[in-house]
Structure 1
Amino acid sequence: MAFEFINGFHDTANAVATVIYTKAMPPKQAVVMSGIFNFLGVLLGGVGVAYAIVHLLPVELLINVNTGHGLAMVFSLLSAAILWNLGTWYLGIPASSSHTLIGSILGVGITNALLTGIPLAEGVNWQKAIDIALSLVVSPTAGFLAAALLLIFFLKRLPLSKMHKTPETRKLVDGKKHPPFWSRLTLVLSAMGVSFVHGSNDGQKGIGLMMLVLIGIVPTQFALDVNSSTYQIERTRDAAIFLQQFYHANESALLQQLSTGKTNGADMPNKFRCELEQTQATIGNLLSAINNVRDYRDLAPETRSQVRRSLLCLDDTAKKISKLPGLAKRDKDDLAKLRKDLTSTTEYAPIWVIVAVALALGIGTMIGWKRVVETVGEKIGRQGMTYAQGMSAQIVAVAAIGMANVFSLPVSTTHVLSSGVAGTMVANRIGLQGGTVRTILIAWVLTLPISICLAGGLFWLAVKLFN
């Protein structure tokens, strides 16, 4: 909850920065509006991004989240993210909560590999990390270029329009406080859009972390979605049977290709590991546990935890099978669908978790918005932001983050919007304030290594204390 509250300082403040700075809406109305649309974004956005973040962690930590190692993991990555976010917010730097969180997760995964003897290649889901890193790099670059091109379009089509005035110029020349009607309407609607897509992207990260905490503290209640339908349970069972047949056909090739992927961590009980040789036994245990089960509430509490471990291990196995050289595209597609069925009853979030995350985001926005709004509105360019620049940056942010949501990729609202503003400043031939841009870039570059080291150090310390 604290992480999401501080996320409101950083990322949600960007959603209202332009609409407040251009005086399209009063601050109080803007943050209330942002809170409502963040809430709707979190509520309607699903959990794809939430578990894209969670699955950056090695499967061994995910299945042991209710042990000392697992709780230390959650504590360390959240504490590191909170500390860095607070520091950058205090300085008014639009740093990325997404970068911070991902760096913290990588730090925990790397340290866990060093502590337990897991190869570094297996300590983190590196393919997922690369995909997310690319989305975090590409999205602000695309935001910069797209916002610049959109502003150039406005300049060419409507060169004398009042939309190209700053709020100060509008007041001095026209004697009016607010933007022209159509500019104001576009700013307000696009701000609603930014808030909505922010909620459905950044808000989901908090949902994933909240579920890790709940599974760690009360595994018997939250290990599985007890509201799963009989149909979902049947699909899970069918997926396990299909994987059993597929694994049997490819067992020797899989073990030969991925023999280095065994987890030999001395600190983890054997039954909690995802060793490839145990896949058939894991499938057998799962089928035995859920055979003829129509409602997960009928399972004993400890059985629910064991079913979750089995499902996560089998999902990991299916992922490894899909990487076999020479595997037909048809088989890879089947495995991708199979993995969704295997995790459909473990990747979920109760409605109260979604509401709590949305409220934390909204309250954080209302308290801490001012520092970031001033930076985005006044300190990126050499003069204040015009209405057209605010519109261009926000429209592009809605499109970029919305597309990321479609593909379940976490992106940084901070970087997309602030880079969009910078792009409009360059397109308008205003130029950038070197000091502010350098500070933002330094924070961008340092966020990952600092959060990796901070989370890794806290995790190492916590593990030693638990032991």
Structure 2
Amino acid sequence: MTDFLDAFGRLDAQSAVVLAFALAIAFGFEVVNGFHDTANAVTTVIYTRTLKATPAVLFSGVCNFLGVLLGGTTIAFSIVHLLPVDLLIDAASRSAVVMVLALLVAGISWNLLTWWFGIPVSSSHTLIGAILGVGLANGVMSGRGLGAGVNWEKAGEVGLALLISPAIGFLAAAALLLAAKRAVPDPELYVPPPEDPSVRPPRWIRATLLATCGGVSLAHGSNDGQKGMGLIMLVLIGLLPTGFALNLDGASGAVHARDAATELRAALLADPSPIHRAEIARIDEVLDRLGSKTSLREVPHDDRIALRNLIYQVDRGLERDRDVVPEGRFAAIAAPRRQLRGAIEYVPGWVIVGVALCLGVGTTVGYKRIVHTIAEKIGKTHLTYAQGASAEVVAMATIGAADLVGLPVSTTQVLSSGVAGTMWANRSGVQLATARNIALAWLLTFPCSMLASAGIFVCGRLALR
């Protein structure tokens, strides 16, 4: 936090206002994400009367907070790498700031609009659509065409995860409910709870529902919280490059980076290939800039963004060559490449805590609209104990697995699809009007967020000319 305050104090008034606005929007996105997406996690415990609404959302909020703190940063930079490479390299430019503001404003606007109508859509979908919109607009404005503005390989990976996860949620939750009917043939579990509000589920099913609610909330905090971290880091790098272009934590950052660069260079030279000439030349420049420094704080302020860009270009160049390099050789450079990347891919502790607080606070407010839709409008009958447990077990497992492989998935899509799957398996019926509205919102999320972010980005770029 000291680095932030020091760098902030050196800004002129206009830049300070822009930074404050950008950070407010970025943290605000996480608050909206909290009450928009995390409502899914508390739906089952509230509507099965496992917990009353207030303790349920507080419990979920605490679990979201812990999920962010424990989740790491892999997904944060998986999202960041969807952005146009030229804007990431020039992260200290005003265009990069416009880019981040465009995708944040577009994302938070679509989330608030769908929340107002009680439609559960994916914040991940919204954010990724906004990123793609900025990338496409940047490609057109730079004269390189639509295809050049986006990292399409990474977009394909993320898009596949978002496409498959709802199907997994629907089918797995349906299968789990059918299996539960065979293994635990207790009729009480498969009928709607009594209308008497004092009646509670059996103790063991309450424990299961509490555990799955906590698990979904932890997984959501870990997965979605990282997306906000990545965007906040882009804001900080764009407006405070001297303080955040490099990982200034630790007293030996330059030593570790130099060791990694040296090992990476030796590995590339051991099996020389013409395709790696550019990367080797950049590594040489990285080593030259690091010199005999011990800490990355010793790098002059004016050189920090240049050093960051060199390391970023090395890493992206090696990633682009992945398909034409033997797998064994690529594995040999994985460790030093990852260590070198650590000099630029990091998230300060205060950002992690800030995102965690925003998600946790967001969970405790504004949840009712989405909860009502999922519990009462997807199926034609009230949610049963077994349906709630099945949907949340599948959501927890799916999101947790996505965390392990570093892919962003949608809590909203997985859990609402899971609820629909249990309604189908239980022959409870699905309300077609609600299903149609949710499906329509899911289909519109990508194009609407893309158009909104592209429009804001174009207007912002034109205003800077």
Q: TM-score, normalised by structure 2?
A: 0.90
Contact 1:237 1:290 survives alignment (8 Å): no
Partner of 2:41: 15
Partner of 1:238: 262
Matches within 5 A, 1:236-385: 236-242=260-266, 245=269, 249-251=272-274, 279-324=279-324, 327-385=325-383
Amino acid at match of 1:62: L
Residues 1:197 and 2:195 aligned together: no
Partner of residue 127 from structure 2, selected from 101, 104, 125: 101
Residues 1:185 and 2:218 aligned together: no
Contact 1:239 1:341 survives alignment (8 Å): no
What is the CA deviation profile of residues 51-86 of structure 1, one whole-angstrom value per residue up to 9, with x for unaligned ones?
Answer: 100001122111212211100100101011011111
Q: Distance in 2 between matches of 1:119 and 1:330?
A: 35
The 1:356–1:182 alpha-carbon spacing in structure 2 relative to 1, beyond 3 Å, is same
* Alignment length (residue pairs): 437
Partner of 2:389: 391
Q: Distance in 1 between matches of 2:377 and 2:389?
A: 18
Partner of 1:268: none
Q: Distance in 1 between matches of 2:459 and 2:95?
A: 11
Matches within 5 A, 1:120-159: 120-159=146-185
- Alignment identity in percent? 46
1:137, CA displacement in angstroms?
1.0
Give the root-mean-square deviation of aligned CA atoms: 1.8
Q: Distance in 1 between matches of 2:328 and 2:279?
A: 22
Partner of 1:30: 56
Partner of 2:20: none
Residues 1:66 and 2:92 aligned together: yes
Can you give the 5+ residue segments of structure 1 that lack an aligned partner in the other structure? 255-276
Amino acid at match of 1:107: G
What is the CA deviation profile of residues 263-315 of structure 1, one whole-angstrom value per residue up to 9, with x for unaligned ones?
Answer: xxxxxxxxxxxxxx864543332111112222111111122211111111111
Matches within 5 A, 1:45-64: 45-64=71-90
Amino acid at match of 2:273: N
Contact 1:240 1:287 survives alignment (8 Å): no
Q: Distance in 2 between matches of 1:225 and 1:344?
A: 7
Q: Distance in 1 between matches of 2:260 and 2:304?
A: 14
Partner of residue 415 from structure 1, selected from 407, 413, 416: 413
The 1:26–1:455 alpha-carbon spacing in structure 2 relative to 1, beyond 3 Å, is same
Contact 1:244 1:283 survives alignment (8 Å): no
What is the CA deviation profile of residues 196-224 of structure 1, one whole-angstrom value per residue up to 9, with x for unaligned ones?
Answer: 00011011100111111111111101111
Q: Distance in 1 between matches of 2:106 and 2:260?
A: 36
Residues 1:429 and 2:427 aligned together: yes
Contact 1:99 1:448 survives alignment (8 Å): yes
Can you give the 5+ residue segments of structure 2 that lack an aligned partner in the other structure? 1-26
Amino acid at match of 2:260: T
SS at match of 1:464: helix
What is the CA deviation profile of residues 345-403 of structure 1, one whole-angstrom value per residue up to 9, with x for unaligned ones?
Answer: 21111111011111111211211100000011110000110011000000000100000
Q: Distance in 1 between matches of 2:230 and 2:178?
A: 40
Q: TM-score, normalised by structure 1?
A: 0.90
Q: Distance in 2 between matches of 1:147 and 1:40?
A: 26
1:243, CA displacement in angstroms?
6.7
